[in-house]
Amino acid sequence: MPIHACWGGTRVVKEFNLVIIGGGPAGMAAALEAYALGIKDIAILERDDSLGGILKQCIHNGFGLHVFKEELTGPEYALRFSEKIKDTDITVLLNTMVINAEKNKTLYAVNPDFGFMTIKAKAVILAMGCRERSRGALRIPGANVAGIFTAGTAQRFVNMEGILPGTKAVILGSGDIGLIMARRMTLEGIKVLGVYEIMDYPGGLTRNIVQCLDDFNIPLHLSTTIVKIHGIGRVTGVTTAKVDKNMIPIKGTEEYVECDTLLLSVGLIPENELTEQMGVGMYQVTGGAYVDQDLETDTEGIFACGNVLHVHDLVDYVTMEGQKAARSAKAYIDESMEQKKTKPEIKVVPGNGLRYVLPQHIYLKDNDEKIRVFFRSKARYKDVLVRALINNEVIAKKKVIRLIPSEMESVEIKASDLYIKTDNGINLKDLVIEVEQ
Amino acid sequence: MNYDICIIGAGVVGSLIARQLSKYKVKIAVIERNVDVSMDATGANSGIVHSGYDAKIGTKKARFNVEGCNMMPALCEDLSVKCKMIGSFVLAFDKDDEKVLQQLYDNGIKNGVTGMAIVDRDFILQKEPYVNPLVTKALYAKNAGIVSPYKLNIAAMDNAIMNGVMFLRETKVTGIEKKDGLFHIAVDVTGDICSMSKIDPIKEEDRTDITAKIIINCAGAHADEISHMAGDDSFKIIPRRGEYILFDKTEGSRINTVLFQTPTEKGKGILVTPTVDGNLMIGPDATLAQDKDDKCTNSDNLDYVYKTATQSYTGLNMKKSITVFAGIRATPSTSDFIIEESSKCKNFINVAGIESPGLTASPAIAVYVEGIVRSLMEMKEKAKDEYTMTVKHDKPFSEMTNEEKEKACSSDELCRKIICRCETVSEKEIVAAIYSPCGARTVDGVKKRTRAGMGRCQGGFCSPHVMRILSEHTGIPVNRIAKANANSCMLGRYSRG
């Protein structure tokens, strides 16, 4: 459908059944699933000039093993979705920045074609992704100079603008984008001197350590951080130091490394400023919304998926989460979603060894429902049992051979078990997911 | 090029003096070693409008502080700069602190400060619920506030340039010689950004064979070196570094007033303040700097700033810090502002040692220096229609109501392109910053004028776009676009071709 056809009058106001904020992997998957389920009047609001999000700059392969059973590059993976969207009547608004949002699902956005728009939605899916933690957020002391990039910004410059960030680089943090960029910069002739990780284990996926560092003889320095940035105008070097088990730099272990570029791959932060403007409740640990098993936030009709909800390891999982959010939105729009707020609600809490769980609460609405609870560990474990407990009784167990913070795991819970253990929802207790001691 | 007056240094003091003198029929140049105004002490300043109870009675600091504080709101109105007179507290936590409050109050009365009161705990906590509840009393100063130091600086220079002042950036004074009553100023070119720019490029003749009848030395931490060139070694500047931590706008909404700690023998304490743009800021400490240009932050100092700030304010969330920075303060060996014609060199005016409360004092200093210049040289005022003392700015997109945004977007396509999403800055504002009289030529220059890159992602998303826009309009190639000075190129070479 031509976009222009849906606007009328001088004031640009449009109503949609479903508005998806963000046209990256989560948003595209949600839109296509919603369309397949028969939702009419779907819109994707995307700030960039094409769909795909960060995938567009991820020109390496390794995407799609779960969803497509083949290995794709980021742009290829994105095309699988954006090409399909072209064949639908989903309204895609590009170069569109949502600048304000209200709890009643009214959004205000601007774009070059329509100027200032007021957009009303029956249901909203939040799929804005995340941003990278910056130098300022880490408070790395030293000179305020050029040559310091977050890994993703550097990736954009190299892969999309065709300009290299520098000639000799150090990478702080062993997150996946940093590892990918270590390889990418090496291939472009930049000397990558080393990757420094404050933790005693790498932050990124094992396959990336092997394929991006080991294969290129790039050293990974664990339990080491950067304590000072040097330079006048541009970075000229960094001082590194070993850290103790409380992550405090150890005096006397400082080393000076000469470089003109510093990349930061030190964590991703879900971009939830709009979410908070809408008054949606947040979950401190993930930095995303507080959601139930349908990925619905505490605000009716607002769903969240992908990296805006919690940072994922693989884009495949983002896709699946987007599809799930769309199914929930469909139920909400059809009003087939039962009045959940009146149903008994069980809190899900991370127990021993776990950093977070998702969803953070479960509504007891359907006895046959199977609920997958995702979690991340705080530390590394080998051959452990992860169990789900309610009222001190184990209702699910899962053997995990390798449990590490950088790889998300999940366990399936049967709603029927929750009913039984809570006397049909009368005697409510928290559901605890924990590593068996 | 022959000038009547050369001002050395384009900080807030030099720029306001240039503006003040730009209403006269004289040829003025401001010589600045950096690529932009506000790149040293002014750029890394607390942004506080002090009411003036602090400085010792009878000093220049006391006089210009109180005068400047009274002038600041109207000046900011004229220059379209945000200034909020939100008041300040000096917080006391025990009897010793309370004694100091009384001394400050008495000193303030002597200095002519109005609107002060010693207030009790309930008053403080009602106004500032996140103040440490152990607070006992406070000195409340109604006539205190906050202002953006670099915005004031930029607007002052914009205004001066509108009135014909020549701004010689990337130009460093290396020698001063006096022949037949005329100053000959030798300069080095420190970078090529401004000469590369196709908008108002600096013409080489403007900074060749520079002469001046009067020199005004506003060189901040380097003012003693400039004074030395003119043969006056009567003072030294001791560089002191102050470090700050800036927090996200989410944190700025919980604080309404400037919060000082009671000064002790150990120091002035750490202040906690909202900024005019809605962030929260803590700092500065004061450490001796080995090098006048060493603006590095240090982990020990930042820890000190944070720990000391928590003594007076309980609302700090370190997860929400977005940047840290340091500034160098020009502390004079004489302990007071030096604002006078040099006794060693006629027609050479030192405006030196302008440490805190220098920003507050700057409007009054500019008027005072105007008086000195008039006493040295006859100047005729331009006709009323030949100059202006006001600068008009369009309202930032982020501060518009929905109706205003709708209107702005309907009439201007560049408004519809939002470049910085953390701060909602449109392409129109960035282009306007580049074409303004004292136009932005660098990424930091755009950031200070528009706030693009000033938000929580610190330019992660918008810096490629800002660089593209800068390059498109100035003609400087993208891989030569700098963060700050010419030695701070953002990127390296093109990967292809």
Q: What is the pLDDT of residue A423?
A: 85
Question: What is the DSSP secondary-structure string of B21-78?
Answer: HTTBS--EEEE-SSSSSS-STGGG---EE--SSSSPTTSHHHHHHHHHHHHHHHHHHH
What's the CA gap between B328 and B86, in Å, rounded? Answer: 26
Chain B: closest CA distance from residue A195 (Å): 20
> A111-115, A182-186, B264-268 — which one is most confidently predicted on average?
A182-186
Binned at pLDDT 50, 70 and 90, residue A5 comes out as very low
Binned at pLDDT 50, 70 and 90, residue A322 comes out as very high
Q: What is the pLDDT of residue A305?
A: 98
Average pLDDT of A67-86?
97
Per the CB < 8 Å rule, is A232 touching B410? no
Q: Which of residues 132-171 of B touch A (CB under 8 A)?
A: none
**3-class DSSP state for residue B309?**
helix
Binned at pLDDT 50, 70 and 90, residue A377 comes out as very high
Q: What is the pLDDT of residue A4?
A: 43
Average pLDDT of A170-182?
96
Token pair for A290:
């507080």
Shortest CA distance from B399: residue in chain A: A99
Q: What is the pLDDT of residue B492?
A: 87
State which H helix or E strand residue A197 sits in: none
Shortest CA distance from B484: residue in chain A: A233
Shortest CA distance from A151: residue in chain B: B460
Shortest CA distance from B487: residue in chain A: A233
Nearest to A20 by CA among A342, A306, A286, A243: A306
**Partner A contacted by B281 (CB < 8 A):** no
Chain A: closest CA distance from residue B124 (Å): 29
- pLDDT 10s digits, B32-49: 999 999 999 999 999 999
Q: Which residues of B touch A150 (CB under 8 A)?
A: 460
- pLDDT 10s digits, B408-434: 998 898 999 999 989 999 999 999 999
Q: What is the pLDDT of residue B494?
A: 85
**pLDDT of A3 strictly over 80:** no
Burial A90-127 (b: 16+ CB within 10 A, else e): bbbbbbbbbbebeeebbbbbbbbbbbbbbbebbbbbbb
Token pair for B54:
């602090």
A17 φ/ψ angles, rounded to the nearest 5 degrees = -70, -45
Per the CB < 8 Å rule, is B489 touching A161? no
What's the CA gap between A264 and A248, in Å, rounded? Answer: 19
Q: Which fold has domain B88-142+239-332?
A: D-Amino Acid Oxidase; Chain A, domain 2 (3.30.9)
What's the CA gap between A128 and A271, in Å, rounded? Answer: 6
Q: What angle do CA B455, A53, A103 make, to 5 degrees?
A: 60
- CB neighbour list of residue A71: distance below 8 Å, 6 or more residues apart: A61, A62, A63, A64, A65
For testing contact with chain B, the best of A49, A102, A110 (most B CBs within 10 A): A110
Q: What is the pLDDT of residue A338?
A: 61
Q: Provide the β-strand partners of residue A178.
A: none
Binned at pLDDT 50, 70 and 90, residue B483 comes out as very high
For the beta carbon of residue B371, count every other beta carbon within 10 angstroms: 10
**pLDDT of A8 strictly over 70:** no
- The beta-carbon neighbor of A163 closest among B250, B323, B479 is B479
Per the CB < 8 Å rule, is B457 touching A112? no
Amino acid at A386: V
What's the CA gap between A70 and A65, in Å, rounded? Answer: 5
Identify the CATH class of B397-480: mainly alpha
Nearest to B10 by CA among B165, B164, B145: B165
Chain B: closest CA distance from residue A367 (Å): 41
Q: Look at the block and give the residue holding tokens 């310091």.
A: A148
Chain B: closest CA distance from residue A89 (Å): 25
> What residue spans in chain B does CATH classification 1.10.10.1100 cover?
397-480
- The beta-carbon neighbor of B492 closest among A112, A143, A165 is A165
Question: What is the DSSP secondary-structure string of B235-290?
Answer: --EEEEEEEEEEE-HHHHTT--SEEEEPPBTTB---EEEE-TTS-EEEE---EE-S
**Partner B contacted by A150 (CB < 8 A):** yes
For the beta carbon of residue B286, count every other beta carbon within 10 angstroms: 17
**pLDDT of A2 strictly over 50:** no
Nearest to B427 by CA among B442, B414, B441: B414
- CB neighbour list of residue A192: distance below 8 Å, 6 or more residues apart: A169, A170, A171, A182, A185, A186, A216, A218
Nearest to A135 by CA among A170, A168, A169, A172: A172
- Domain B2-41+150-236+335-386 belongs in CATH node 3.40.50.150: no
What is the rounded radius of gyration, in angstroms, for the C-alpha atoms of chain B? 22
What's the CA gap between B131 and B128, in Å, rounded? Answer: 6
Per the CB < 8 Å rule, is B485 touching A233? yes
User: Catalytic positions of B, please?
Assistant: 50
Q: What is the pLDDT of residue A14?
A: 87
Q: What is the pLDDT of residue A7?
A: 44
Token pair for A298:
């505490």
Q: What is the pLDDT of residue A354?
A: 97
- pLDDT 10s digits, A217-238: 999 999 999 999 999 999 999 9
Per the CB < 8 Å rule, is B418 touching A232? no
Binned at pLDDT 50, 70 and 90, residue A337 comes out as low
**pLDDT of A9 strictly over 50:** no
Tell me the domains of chain A and their CATH numbers: 12-131+269-337 (3.50.50.60), 134-266 (3.50.50.60), 342-435 (2.60.40)
B407 φ/ψ angles, rounded to the nearest 5 degrees = -65, -45
Mean pLDDT (chain A, rounded): 93
Q: What is the pLDDT of residue A421?
A: 86
What's the CA gap between A118 and A15, in Å, rounded? Answer: 9
Nearest to A387 by CA among A320, A331, A435: A435
Q: Provide the β-strand partners of residue A347.
A: A361
Token pair for B421:
């999403």
Mean pLDDT (chain B, rounded): 96
Nearest to B230 by CA among B164, B288, B184, B290: B184
Binned at pLDDT 50, 70 and 90, residue A11 comes out as low
Q: Which residues of B touch A142 (CB under 8 A)?
A: 296-297
What's the CA gap between B443 and B433, in Å, rounded? Answer: 11
- pLDDT 10s digits, B351-409: 999 999 999 999 999 999 999 999 999 999 999 999 999 999 889 999 999 999 999 99
Per the CB < 8 Å rule, is A137 touching B416? no
> What residue spans in chain B does CATH classification 3.50.50.60 cover?
2-41+150-236+335-386
- pLDDT 10s digits, A364-373: 988 899 999 9
Q: Which of residues 372-431 of B touch A (CB under 8 A)?
A: 402, 405-406, 408-410, 413, 415-418, 421-422, 424, 426
CA A281 to chain centre: 17
- pLDDT 10s digits, B305-338: 999 999 999 999 998 999 999 999 999 999 999 9
pLDDT above 70 covers what percent of chain B?
A: 100
Computed from CA positions of residues A134, A135, A139, A145, in that sequence, does the dihedral angle turn out positive or negative? negative
Nearest to A137 by CA among B293, B466, B422: B422
Question: What is the DSSP secondary-structure string of A18-54?
Answer: EEEE--SHHHHHHHHHHHHTT--SEEEE-SSSSS-GG
Q: Look at the block and give the residue holding tokens 């009602």.
A: B126
**Partner B contacted by A286 (CB < 8 A):** no
> What residue spans in chain B does CATH classification 3.30.9.10 cover?
88-142+239-332
Q: Look at the block and give the residue holding tokens 């109503």.
A: A15
Token pair for B247:
């927090």
Q: What is the pLDDT of residue B300?
A: 94
For testing contact with chain B, the best of A45, A54, A99 (most B CBs within 10 A): A99
**Partner B contacted by A165 (CB < 8 A):** yes
Q: What is the pTM of this model?
A: 0.94
pLDDT above 70 covers what percent of chain A?
A: 96
Q: Look at the block and give the residue holding tokens 């776990």.
A: A354
- Residue B124 in contact with residue B85, Cβ under 8 Å? no
Average pLDDT of A127-135?
95
For testing contact with chain A, the best of B245, B321, B325, B488 (most A CBs within 10 A): B488
Per the CB < 8 Å rule, is B456 touching A146? no
